[in-house]
Amino acid sequence: MGSTKALAGAALVAVPVPVIIEAPVAPPAVVDAVKQYPAQALRRREQGTIEVRVSLNARGEIVTIEAAQAEPRLLVQAALEAVRKAAPYPPST
């Protein structure tokens, strides 16, 4: 299969043929449904937007996942966990 490259705000979707679809995407509704704001982050009044880069296989399963930043740590961990909980995603067509 061809190589992939990460782009800011992009989801990489590998399909069975050597084609990679790269497009900025909003979080699927399923991620919004499972995400939880960490209680400790609320107490600390931490806030922010966490950019998560995900590559999926043709079945919609996570192959790689990473946050674009490391802080605030509690929010990064919560964002990564929400993306993992929401998997698998709709398969590519």
**Rounded CA gap, 89 and 28, in Å?**
9
pTM of the model: 0.68
Residue spans of the domains in the chain: they are 10-86
Quick: pLDDT tens for 9-61.
444 443 333 333 344 555 678 888 888 899 999 999 998 888 888 888 888 88
Quickly state the pLDDT bin for 5 (edges 50, 70, 90).
very low
Q: Is the pLDDT of residue 80 over 90?
A: yes
What integer pLDDT is reported at residue 84 of this predicted model?
93
Rounded Cα distance between 84 and 93, Å, is 21
- Distance CA(12)–CA(6), nearest Å, equals 7
What b/e readout covers 20-37, taking b as 16+ CB neighbours within 10 angstroms? eeeeeeeeeebbeeebee
